[in-house]
Structure 1
Amino acid sequence: MLIFTNVTWLDLCLASAGVYLVKQAFNKRNPAPYPPGPPGWPLIGNITDIPHNKPWLTFAKWSKTYGDILHIEIPGRHIIVLNSVKAAIELLDKKSSIYSDRPFLTMSCELVGWKHALGFLSYGDRFRNYRKNIHRIMGSHAAIDVYQPIEEIEVRRFLKRVVAQPEQLNAHIRHTAGAIILRISYGYEVKDNNDPFVDLAGRAMHQFSRCTETGAFMVDIMPWLANVPEWFPGAGFKRLAREWRQNLKETVDAPYKFAKDQIAAGIAPMSYTSNLLNGRTLSAEEEHMVKWSAVSIYAGGADTTVSTIYSIFLAMTLFPDVQKKAQAEIDAVVGTDRLPSFADRDSLPYIEALIKESLRWNAVAPTGFGHCVSEDDIYDGYYIPKGTMLIPNIWSMLNDPQTYANPSQFNPERFLDNDGRGPEREPRTISFGFGRRICPGMHLADASIWISTVMSLAVFDISKIVENGVEHTPEVDFSSGLVSHPKPFKCSIKPRSAKAIALIQQDVNY
């Protein structure tokens, strides 16, 4: 929803006219043409063309006319959309030294305060320090092995909650994702129900998704609107920003204080925060980096993991043959007398393929997180000026029929050797982003998705729900926003056997 009034439309026209006249007065001839794209209007460019609901679909449609790299413009900013893996790799990977900055969004960065989080940091020393700390703790498969017991125990608790209240599936997934991330980030063990930190962080992530949605706030196009008072007509965004900023501050400060208090009392379990604080006296800058890098782990991992795991339950509801194959593999390798563990991962290739397909089928971040180029560049004969925002259309890349046969189908076998044909492209090289901005918590997210999936399939049968004798087929529809979630759906979740019930009910403790 655009936060406009007649006043701001007039302001937009006047501001655009001013920008246009200044550019005309001082503009020098470009060294090459911009990439092709939909023609814009004088003064306002493509501002009326950019969709605010599922923009990745429109970008993919435009690519059929204008090609894999297309250009649009709004007052004060050039935007380039990359619709192919090749273009994304050529620019964001191979030229990462100049394509690793972030666009500054006034609403989310300045007014709400997300500018301190890793995802919004400009490429520089603070960014590199965040990444170095996170990489040391969870930047490799070996580094995250130490957290496997935490993940296995929290997923066991998830199974208990699901069998007790299967209709609350989404809430259970969200609770478990929050429990894992909070334990690893701060050493905090969540309460069974209505945990204050999970609720706090959940609100912050919902608000984060709203304030970063493409075109949702006019202040991102006209930053000077940030200076208008709250009572001014059309300035409702200022009141929202004030509320969201306070919630974000609590989300950053409260779990960090918990971790510090635990360390001071000598009872802190191992966590990202305790590893960085134990036995050290930090400067104000160092403490700032620990606080914000810790909350960045939550922001980067919790919501995306929820979306993927929820989409797997949707896929199992819609594609029962896939579920049966996965369960047959688990039964053959693990048996029915125990739950699967990470030790079984290398012996379960079909489950591995299922995880890959889940990352492809539901593009959790359909348009990725915009990059920004730090100096003028020429690519494929096209001019990309300094400050241009680049949007990788990850949804388009993961649904390209030239790369993935029948992309709307959930088919794990595409990632296995079939009839002498090699597997299709590994989706994890796309879904977690590109270049120096690739998700630093990708290994942790991958592990959480895997263990949640394999344990759930070991003990549950997931199917379409029957109400009043009528079977209901869930709709495959994913929400708009920076993080895309499956539309809420109903499904039947039942234990597979008496043995499965006994495994679910086993006591679990840290």
Structure 2
Amino acid sequence: MLALTDVTLLYLCLAGVGVYLMKQAFAKNHAPYPPGPRGLPVVGNIQDVPRVKPWLTFAEWGKKYGGISHINVLGLHIVVLNSAKTTVEMLDKKSSIYSDRPFVAMTGELMGYGQTLPFLRYGKRFRLFRKNFHRIIGSHASVVVYYPIEEIETHRFLKRVLANPDQLQAHVQRTACSFILRISYGYEVKEDNDPILDIAERALDQLSRNSLTGEFMVDFLPSLAKVPEWFPGAGFKRLAREYRETVEEVAAVTYKFAKDQMAAGTALKSFTSDLLEGRTLTAEEDHDVKWSAISLFSGGADTSISSLYSFFLAMTLFPEVQKKAQAEIDAVVGPDRLPSFTDRASLPYIDALAKEVLRWNVAIPGADHCVTEDDIHDGYYIPKGSLIVPNIWFMLNDPETYANPSEFSPERFLAKDGKEPETDPRAFCFGFGRRICPGVHLADASIWISAVMSLAVLDVSKVVENGVEITPEVDPSSGLISHPKPFKCSIKARSDKAFALIQQDTY
């Protein structure tokens, strides 16, 4: 009888403690979660997680639930932001707690990209990497030194396109990789059969296709990472091992090249050479320089590929825009030389066109953040550790911000007849807060010079097959980096003089 009483008292005490803890939790979490789809018991909203083009589903949630919505997947809280205003208030103004990255088991841990800046958790190493980027390419003035490289690589691109216009996508990829490898490591890509270019392109392709958070179940159940490769359903482990080997190889090979060139006294100026110059590094510092450099490559090359390919898609679909842009170039630059960065201030329509490329087919539709503390925002409870997903695609396609957003219209960024320009897409497309793209000035310069030099000497139009004009489909791919669907177009020199300019040897 005494034993029973003791047990009863124990249960009562435990119950009392439980009630107390529940009251404390309720007091702390008196605010509701943001609205969102109703989930199932235990698994929550696992069936609601979009696998293909998630930004479209997120946009629908925005229409139904407002600018901020919420789901819970196996205990992981996911907060989707469709409102640009709310995104700025959270990710910019409260960046001290909204600048972490979620732990992404597949891409970050298993594939090995957790060592690169885009996937680094917020902390000492993240701040060091950002400091490296800011010092070397963090301002307009600091990237001017790389302008001649961009002009040279774009000129080489024009030659390749004119020689084999049917291989546009391959030329775009090669050009973007060549430029980033040159800036990151001082490496100049060989014209044919370049081994470093081959592995670099493979790494980019793997990252682009398999890096969306939630694409693999292991992202929601990290314990699955311990499952052996031979276990049924563990194909993701074999895939991750292959991809990890690729990224570690490209990081090692390129870094070794840069260090060997410096030791031989033949190094070209680059991001890596600037970080290594005059320093004797510890093993940890050496690791940090190596992974800072590959961060620049992995973060910059694929987005440039997407933007440049989007530019050619837009010129194929919107010939009237192409003609206006070419008329401006002809009037300012003339037919006797290729445009350069020195012409930028005199070409406002080309500047607007470059902005529209960034908006119209956004390269990064959404970039995940993670909150490091509990927060109450707009009356909603945002738990510590929540995945915060700004729907950048919708912000750049919101009809309340951009008139007729599916149309490619550089005019929207030009003041006319007393009408103010629409919001500069660079306020959204490069990210937010302390996670904003550190290579923003390089990226902006890259798309501008590619557009202006291409338009100066090339005519882009729809392909005609068997007497039928083929209109490309606007169908961007899923993935961390979104690319236009492969398309056909006709590319020709604008004139004999344009052909001669392309063939000139200027390097």
TM range (shorter): over 0.9
Report the CA distance between 1:215 and its aligned residue: 2.6
Contact 1:52 1:214 in 2 (8 A): no
AA in 2 matched with 1:400? D
Residue in 2 aligned with 1:79?
78
Over 3 Å counting, the alpha-carbon distance change for 1:34 and 1:489 in structure 2 is same
Report the CA distance between 1:25 and its aligned residue: 12
AA in 1 matched with 2:313? L
Residue in 1 aligned with 2:387?
389
Residue in 2 aligned with 1:215?
214
Over 3 Å counting, the alpha-carbon distance change for 1:44 and 1:461 in structure 2 is same
Q: Secondary structure at the match of 2:80?
A: strand
Report the CA distance between 1:242 and its aligned residue: 1.0
Q: Secondary structure at the match of 1:499?
A: helix
Contact 1:304 1:364 in 2 (8 A): yes
Structure 1 residues 69-104: Cα deviation after superposition (integer angstroms, max 9, x where no partner): 000110131000000110110000000000000001
Separation of aligned partners in 1, 2:212 and 2:425: 24
Separation of aligned partners in 2, 1:251 and 1:79: 33
1:17-36 map, 5 Å: 28-29=25-26, 30-36=29-35
Structure 1 residues 235-281: Cα deviation after superposition (integer angstroms, max 9, x where no partner): 11111111111111101100000001101111111111111112211
Residue in 2 aligned with 1:462?
460
Residue in 1 aligned with 2:347?
348
The one of 397, 408, 413 equivalent to 1:415 is: 413
The 4+ residue runs of structure 1 with deviation greater than 3 A are 23-27
Over 3 Å counting, the alpha-carbon distance change for 1:325 and 1:234 in structure 2 is same
Separation of aligned partners in 1, 2:84 and 2:334: 40
Separation of aligned partners in 1, 2:256 and 2:305: 26
Separation of aligned partners in 2, 1:311 and 1:324: 17
Separation of aligned partners in 2, 1:203 and 1:351: 32
Separation of aligned partners in 1, 2:331 and 2:479: 40
Separation of aligned partners in 2, 1:172 and 1:212: 24
Residue in 1 aligned with 2:14?
none
Separation of aligned partners in 1, 2:21 and 2:314: 55
Contact 1:339 1:455 in 2 (8 A): yes
Q: TM-score, normalised by structure 1?
A: 0.94
Separation of aligned partners in 1, 2:167 and 2:383: 49
Residue in 1 aligned with 2:426?
428
Contact 2:208 2:302 in 1 (8 A): no
Tell me if 1:226 matches 2:225.
Answer: yes
Residue in 2 aligned with 1:178?
177
Report the CA distance between 1:438 and its aligned residue: 0.1
Corresponding residue pairs, total: 486
Residue in 1 aligned with 2:503?
505
Report the CA distance between 1:318 and its aligned residue: 0.6
1:3-14 map, 5 Å: none
What are the ranges of 5 or more consecutive residues in structure 1 without an aligned counterpart?
1-22
Residue in 1 aligned with 2:370?
372
Residue in 1 aligned with 2:253?
254
Q: Secondary structure at the match of 2:423?
A: coil
1:132-211 map, 5 Å: 132-211=131-210
| 123-132 vs 336-345, which moves further | 123-132
Tell me if 1:441 matches 2:439.
Answer: yes
AA in 1 matched with 2:412? R
Residue in 1 aligned with 2:234?
235
Report the CA distance between 1:62 and its aligned residue: 1.1
Structure 1 residues 417-455: Cα deviation after superposition (integer angstroms, max 9, x where no partner): 122110000100100000000000010011111111100
AA in 1 matched with 2:303? T
Structure 1 residues 177-196: Cα deviation after superposition (integer angstroms, max 9, x where no partner): 11111011100000113322
Separation of aligned partners in 1, 2:135 and 2:19: 50
Separation of aligned partners in 2, 1:25 and 1:438: 42
Separation of aligned partners in 2, 1:431 and 1:274: 29
AA in 2 matched with 1:498? D
Separation of aligned partners in 1, 2:30 and 2:20: 18
Tell me if 1:302 matches 2:301.
Answer: yes
Report the CA distance between 1:31 and its aligned residue: 2.5
Separation of aligned partners in 2, 1:346 and 1:174: 28
Q: Secondary structure at the match of 1:337?
A: coil
Structure 1 residues 206-233: Cα deviation after superposition (integer angstroms, max 9, x where no partner): 2222332243211111111111111111
Separation of aligned partners in 1, 2:84 and 2:21: 36
Q: Secondary structure at the match of 1:48?
A: helix
| 500-509 vs 199-208, which moves further | 199-208
Report the CA distance between 1:202 and its aligned residue: 1.6
Structure 1 residues 319-366: Cα deviation after superposition (integer angstroms, max 9, x where no partner): 100000000000000000000000000000000000111111011111
Q: Secondary structure at the match of 1:461?
A: strand
| 385-394 vs 197-206, which moves further | 197-206
What are the ranges of 5 or more consecutive residues in structure 2 without an aligned counterpart?
1-17
Contact 1:307 1:485 in 2 (8 A): yes
Separation of aligned partners in 1, 2:80 and 2:216: 20
Separation of aligned partners in 1, 2:19 and 2:259: 56
Separation of aligned partners in 1, 2:128 and 2:245: 26
Separation of aligned partners in 2, 1:67 and 1:46: 18
Structure 1 residues 16-68: Cα deviation after superposition (integer angstroms, max 9, x where no partner): xxxxxxx9997632221000001111111111011100010011011111000
Q: Secondary structure at the match of 1:34?
A: coil
Contact 1:416 1:422 in 2 (8 A): yes
AA in 2 matched with 1:506? Q
AA in 1 matched with 2:161? V
Residue in 2 aligned with 1:293?
292
Tell me if 1:400 matches 2:431.
Answer: no
Separation of aligned partners in 1, 2:192 and 2:160: 10
Separation of aligned partners in 2, 1:422 and 1:127: 38
Q: Secondary structure at the match of 1:336?
A: coil
Report the CA distance between 1:379 and its aligned residue: 0.3
Separation of aligned partners in 2, 1:31 and 1:255: 53
Over 3 Å counting, the alpha-carbon distance change for 1:298 and 1:36 in structure 2 is same
